[in-house]
Amino acid sequence: MTAAAGEGGCDHKPSLDPRPHSVSILEFGAVADGKTMNTVAFQNAIFYLKSFADKGGAQLYVPPGKWLTGSFNLTSHLTLFLAKGATILGSQNQSHWDVVEPLPSYGRGIELPGARYRSLINGYKLRDVVITGDEGSIDGQGKVWWDWFNARSLNYSRPHLVELVQCEDIVVSNLTFLNAPAYSIHPVYCSNVLVQNISISTPSESPGTVGIVPDSSNNICIEDSTIETGHDAIALKSGWDEYGISYNRPTMHVHVRDVHLKSSSGACIALGSEMSGGISDVQGDDIRMHDSRGGIELRTNRGRGGYIRRVFFSNVQMEEVEVGLVARGDMGDHPDDGFDREAVPVVQGITFRDVVGLKVGLAGNFTGAEGIRFGTICLLNVTLTSGEPWVCSGVDGFSEDGDRVSGTVPGTGECREEFFVVL
């Protein structure tokens, strides 16, 4: 299969054509017993397939079985195909996961200062990569990592299942992702990414596990998927404080649709709090959320800088969600003492339309912070059956009937079409 260039949004999907060449991981000495390390087999197979890059690319076929491996890197013009019954298992030995430098837009590991563990499946400056299968799975066997994290015994920040850095024309589809040490799918500094028809699952008690994290990336489509995680299901990010401001690459043109989400300790969809490069032009529709701590959250903090703007969510259904809609200016830590307190984030042009919630604990919490006042937030046909009223301060907003809310003081105004986003 080849991944042709996209144009952003889920209505501009890449074409997927068969690769002219295919090899099996068995041809490189791999053993599917769940015990034998296959890192070298994956590395050798992918090195061999590099030679087909100018011949239409190639496919690496992973047959049924349990394939234990440490970190390995992909190459351009490659399809990694997992057959039905095939599972790639992440090693539970820390020495099988390389240590790499932190991302420049973060300046350090997200959990600990300094370096970080390389993810299980990696790509760097690649083009035209497809990770797919016939309902195969990638299992990070993350419990050992969660235990190490809880015991504070790690020297570096935890790895992810899939991380793609500075890549373009990426497809991830038709797979199940299980037990990620931290994130399941992390496209960072990428463009033209389609994530389609996948399932992600980490236990509710797994600390800080996140499903899909588009990070300083553009033209992203996430659709037809089910995600259940210990923390956020989907989190949009773009760098951390002074490092993200300096790197200055936003996350933009993101479309999320037809997804079922569950978040145990975070939000079903989060924007931020690491958003210093900016987040804009985000559309979400036909979204189902259930049994979660948070629904949709916009997270910022003083020192972040950046912006969250032109965000439009519609046709959202929530059930058994503790807090429905959130925009807060006091969320998240700082990487170090070098952040600029005068770097104030901007949040404006946010629309929630056709949102229905049953058994919602708190309908919404829109709270600015010192020096942070949120711009217009529009609520159109929003009905949340909740036990607690809205919390609202430091924000300008419009309700569906045209009433304006500024803090807790009503005024007059209107929701205008200019706040809507269509990708």
pLDDT tens digits, residue range 133-187? 999 999 999 999 999 999 999 999 999 999 999 999 999 999 999 999 999 999 9
Convert the pLDDT of each residue in 182-206 to its tens digit: 999 999 999 999 999 999 999 999 9
> Distance between CA 86 and CA 133 in Å, rounded?
9
Characterize the bridge pairing of strands 175-178 and 136-139. parallel
Q: How confident is the model at residue 62 (pLDDT cuts 50, 70, 90)?
A: very high
Q: Is the pLDDT of residue 417 over 50?
A: no
Question: Of 167, 177, 110, 170, which Cα lies nearest the Cα of 142?
Answer: 177
CA angle at 419 for the pair 300 and 262, rounded to the nearest 5°: 50
Q: What are phi and psi of 164, to 5 degrees?
A: -120, 125
CB atoms within 10 A of CB 422: 9
Residue 80's identity, in one-letter code, is: L
Q: Is the pLDDT of residue 33 over 60?
A: yes
As separate numbers, helices (DSSP H) first and strands (DSSP E) second, the chain gives 3, 31
3-state helix, strand, coil in the chain (%, to 5): 10, 50, 40
Domain ranges of the chain: 70-419
Q: Is the pLDDT of residue 13 over 80?
A: no
Q: Is the pLDDT of residue 21 over 90?
A: yes
Segment among 25-34, 160-169, 285-294, 323-332 with least mean pLDDT: 323-332
- In this predicted model, which residue has the larger pLDDT, 4 or 220? 220
Mean pLDDT of 381-405: 71
Question: Of 363, 361, 405, which Cα lies nearest the Cα of 384?
Answer: 363
Tokens representing 396?
């300008």
pLDDT recorded at residue 399:
59
Whole-model pTM?
0.93
Tokens representing 153?
């015994």
Report, at the CATH architecture level, how domain 70-419 is classified.
3 Solenoid (2.160)
Q: How confident is the model at residue 391 (pLDDT cuts 50, 70, 90)?
A: confident
In the block, residue with structure tokens 């935890």: 158
pLDDT recorded at residue 112:
97
User: Cα Rg for the chain, rounded, in angstroms?
Assistant: 21
pLDDT recorded at residue 111:
97
In the block, residue with structure tokens 């800080």: 208
* Residues in Cβ contact with 185 at an 8 Å cutoff, skipping those fewer than 6 apart: 160, 161, 162, 172, 177, 195, 198, 200, 211, 212, 213
Across-strand partners of 130? 79, 171
Q: Is the pLDDT of residue 400 over 80?
A: no
> Distance between CA 186 and CA 204 in Å, rounded?
20
Q: How confident is the model at residue 414 (pLDDT cuts 50, 70, 90)?
A: very low
Segment among 14-23, 66-75, 283-292 with least mean pLDDT: 14-23
